Chains A and B, each alone.
Chain A
Amino acid sequence: MNNLLEVENLVVHFDTDGGLVEVLDDVNFTMHAGEILGLVGESGSGKSVSATAILGMIRPPGRILAGSIRFESIDLLRLSLDEMRGYRGRRIAMIPQSYRTALNPVISAGRQISRLLEIHEGCSRAAAYRRAIELLDLVGAADPARLMKHYPHQLSGGMCQRVMIAMALATSPRLLIADEPTTGLDVTIAARILDLLRDLSKRTGAAILLITHDLGVVAQTCQRVAVMHAGQLVETAPVRELFRTPAHPYTCALVRSIPRIDIEVKLEAVPGVVPSLRRPPKGCRYQNRCPHAVEVCRRDKPRQEAVGQNHEVACFAFRRTP
């Protein structure tokens, strides 16, 4: 089966005044059509930059040094700006992190959606209006016709997020990138947004790349998970295996560091701090935080190796630790 998305050996650097920042270091992952892949990690682990790269929106001082991003077998990095426009916002859409700043405050919610349809789909104004109402209905807005006239400041956070999702879905994308779609929302609202994303993925067949730092969200929403640490992808696994048998020391530490409501746990903190990406350690970037680090970790970069069905881990120490 052909993969919908193949990210291979992606290296991204940002050339800032403070020196070169090595943001992504040889990132590899794939996505199948219709699946929900969770991308987890701490701030600065490179989750959002990976998404930005897929959308072809890395701008100076950022630079893609190496790698390929194949979407439906076409390398997006080789496309011209015009060709990329045929993908961005159409085949690949994004739900941005901050719904407050992503919506235009002086244009009504409805007009923002319908204008997008006029531009991308070439709809007439009337057709775009009707389609926008359908979209708002699809994302579970209670009174779509009324919502069309509202301005963003009149909407609650949850409603803004639904408008953003409606906009992302307007062009029937095959891949939807959701960057922290529930951060800043209250739990009851967040749960409904996640229900909506799951349901939409099923109904429209769109794959979703869900960027989050919340392992609870991952467990309840995703089929597969990719864990990032300091610009390196450390583990990819089906969601059950990730929580039952995490392989990378970082994943293990993450899973043990979260309080939970279903069982009593002894909380443990993830050791150490995220290394600086200005001068990242050679080899595995988790070495200074890792209790199992050995000499080879400081010398060579671990490659992703299969440790189970669809379960890959980039760690030298893994086979040595029980």
Chain B
Amino acid sequence: MTPLLEVEGLRKSFPLTGATTWAARLRGERPAVRAVDGVSFAVAKGETLGLVGESGCGKSTVARCLLRVIEPTTGSIRFDGEEITTLSGRRLRATRRAMQMVYQDPTAALNPRFNVRRTIEEPLRLHFKMTSAERRERLMGVISDVGLGTDLIERYPHQLSDGQRQRVNIARAIAAHPSFVVLDEPTSALDVSLRSRIVLLLEALQKRLGLSFLFISHDIATVKYLAHRIAVMYLGVIVEEADSASLFAAPRHPYTRALLSSVPVPDPDFFHERLVLNGEIPSPTKTYTGCRLRSRCPLAEAVCAEPVPRREVAPGHYVLCHLA
């Protein structure tokens, strides 16, 4: 079966044009932030792929490239069998109906001058020719899907709580019947008790509507709960990819091990064998030939300076490391 979404060799670099790089540019160099530096993955129908990593690793840039909010530098993105990096006009719009996004900040993502009804009807107006009665029916449908009260539809964002706002965002995303939704840190800005509710809602929606999710988060425990498969990003590349269970049972890449062993576990008797990385994340403007973690990895050896092949260490479990 072909996957719903297939990404191959995706790259996005942002050229540096400021005053700090003029000398390099005079030398004929092209300094750039390589935010995403060759990423490949696939998402099957009805599947959740978790994308984890620390700030600046490029997870959000991947998401934006997928929806063509920003244009990828190179690489191929196939959605439903169709190459979408070259689409434009009406065909692109049709693809966008099927690919939606929920953002991290529920308040910033809503137009403060649109009430709930207008917010959710917006994608319907853009993508379908519907009568107002049909739109209203769909509106009521998604409102109940996301567990919002029908008494809220005339309210404006400032009259809603954080949790309700995020539900409106989710309702807007699913209103036009997408098959793929990017969730970019949908729970990070929410209070603890609200997080679990949104997570439960997303889980239920996926089951009922057969949606595929790309779930981006740095909250690893939540990703584990929702995702079927998980890809770990570091400095613009996916260093490890596996199904959720085997990633947590046997993480192979040193970065994954460091990441997982840093997650605080709500059990006082739980003891992590901690793998601590040296220093901090290096600059994404450099070009790397060997392993990107080399300078921080406590296990690094001479071979790590060589280009790293992507290896399948177990069925469906891919690692970008010489030593794993």
Contacts A187-B218, A273-B161; A257 near B268 (Cβ below 8 A): no
CB-defined contacts of A86 to chain B, threshold 8 Å: none
Which residue of chain B has its CB nearest to the CB of A265? B225
Q: How many A-B residue pairs have CB under 8 A?
A: 111
- CB distance A261 to B248 under 8 Å? yes
Q: Which of B191, B222, B268, B269 is in CB contact (< 8 Å) with A43?
A: B191
- B221 touches which of A191, A218, A260, A268 (Cβ 8 Å): A260
By a CB distance below 8 angstroms, the chain A residues around B258 are 188
- For A156, A214, A261, the residue with the greatest tally of chain B CB atoms inside 10 Å of its CB is A261
Which residues of A have CB within 8 Å of B71?
A: none
Known: A142-B279, A186-B54, A213-B191. A191 touches B262 (CB 8 A): yes
B193 touching A219, Cβ below 8 Å: no
Contact of A239 among B195, B224, B268 (CB under 8 A): B268
Those of B245-263 within 8 Å (CB) of chain A: 248, 258-263
B266 is an interface residue with CB less than 8 A from chain A: yes
Contact B265 A267 (CB under 8 A): no
Say whether B220 faces chain A, with CB atoms less than 8 Å apart: yes
Residue from B55, B197, B266, B277 having most chain A Cβ neighbours under 10 A: B266
CA distance A89 to B161 in the complex (A): 36
The complex places the Cα of A186 from the Cα of B195 at a distance, in Å, of 18
| B54–A258 touching, CB < 8 Å | no
**Alpha-carbon gap, A257 to B259, bound state (A):** 22
Q: Which A residues lie within 8 Å of B218 (CB)?
A: 186-187
A188: contacting residue among B161, B225, B248, B277, CB under 8 A: B277
Cα–Cα, bound, A259→B261 (Å)? 16
B305 at interface by CB-CB < 8 Å:
no
Q: Which residues of A lie under 8 Å from residue B269 when comparing CB positions?
A: 240
Q: Mark A177-196, 1 if CB is under 8 A from B, else 0.
A: 00000000011111110100
Q: Does B150 contact A (CB under 8 A)?
A: no
Partner of A220, one of B161, B199, B225, B264: B264
Report the count of interface residues on A (CB-CB < 8 A): 42
Q: Which residues of A contact B260 (CB under 8 A)?
A: 261
B274 at the interface (CB under 8 A from A): yes
**Contact between chains at B276 and A261 (CB < 8 Å):** no
Is A126 engaged at the interface, CB distance under 8 Å to the other chain? no
- When chains A and B are docked, how far (Å) is the Cα of A82 from the Cα of B230? 56
A269 near B200 (CB under 8 angstroms)?
yes
Name B residues whose Cβ lies closer than 8 Å to a Cβ of A.
54-55, 161, 163, 191-193, 195-197, 199-200, 218, 220-222, 224-225, 248, 258-270, 274, 276-277, 279-280
Task: Answer yes or no: A216 CB below 8 A from chain B CBs.
Answer: yes
Q: Would you call B268 and A240 a contact (CB within 8 A)? A: yes
Judging by beta carbons under 8 Å apart, are B192 and A213 in contact? yes
Nearest Cβ on chain A to B316's Cβ, whole angstroms: 20
In the complex, chain A residues whose CB is within 8 Å of the CB of B268: 219-220, 239-240, 243
Which residues from chain B contact A83 at a C-beta distance below 8 Å?
A: none
| Contact of B270 with A219 in the complex, beta carbons under 8 Å | yes
CB-CB under 8 A from B276, the residues of chain A are 188, 192
Are A217 and B192 in contact, CB atoms less than 8 angstroms apart? no
Which residues on B sit within 8 Å (CB–CB) of A254?
192-193
Please determine whether B192 and A257 come into contact, CB atoms closer than 8 angstroms: yes
29 interchain pairs (CB within 8 A)? Answer: A156-B280, A186-B218, A187-B218, A188-B54, A188-B259, A191-B262, A191-B264, A191-B274, A214-B192, A216-B265, A219-B266, A219-B267, A219-B268, A220-B268, A221-B264, A240-B268, A243-B266, A253-B193, A254-B193, A257-B193, A258-B266, A259-B199, A259-B221, A261-B220, A262-B267, A262-B270, A270-B192, A273-B161, A274-B193
- Separation of A265 and B261 alpha carbons in the complex (Å): 19
* A214 contacts across to B, CB distance below 8 A: 192, 264
Residue of A190, A220, A240 with most chain B CB atoms under a 10 A cut-off: A220
Chain B residues within 8 Å of A21, by CB: none
Q: Report Cα–Cα, A254/B280, bound state, in Å.
A: 33
Q: Is A158 an interface residue (CB 8 A)?
A: yes
Knowing A191-B274, A270-B193, the reply to whether A258 touches B221 (Cβ < 8 A) is yes
10 residue pairs, one from A and one from B, having the closest CB atoms: A216-B264, A191-B262, A259-B225, A270-B193, A186-B54, A257-B196, A269-B197, A259-B221, A215-B266, A187-B262
Contact of A270 with B196 in the complex, beta carbons under 8 Å: yes
A sample of 15 more A-B contacts (CB under 8 A), given A158-B280, A189-B280, A259-B225, is A156-B280, A216-B263, A218-B266, A220-B264, A220-B270, A240-B269, A254-B192, A254-B193, A260-B265, A260-B267, A261-B248, A261-B265, A267-B196, A269-B200, A273-B161
- The answer, among B224, B262, B280, for a CB contact under 8 Å with A259, is B224
Q: Is A137 an interface residue (CB 8 A)?
A: no
Who on chain A is nearest to B261 by CB? Answer: A191
Query: CA–CA, A163 to B48, complex, Å?
Result: 40
Q: A42-B193, A187-B220 are in contact. Are A219 and B54 (CB under 8 A)?
A: no
**Interchain CB contact (< 8 A) of A219 among B222, B264, B279:** B264
Docked pose: A200 CA to B192 CA in angstroms: 28
B266, A267: Cβ atoms closer than 8 Å: no
A218 to chain B: closest residue by CB = B266
Chain A contacts with B in 38-78, Cβ cutoff 8 A: 42-43
Instruction: Give Cα A215–Cα B55 distance, bound, in whole angstroms.
Output: 22
Is A255 part of the contact surface with B, judged by Cβ < 8 Å?
Answer: yes
Cβ-defined contact, A42 with B262, below 8 A: no
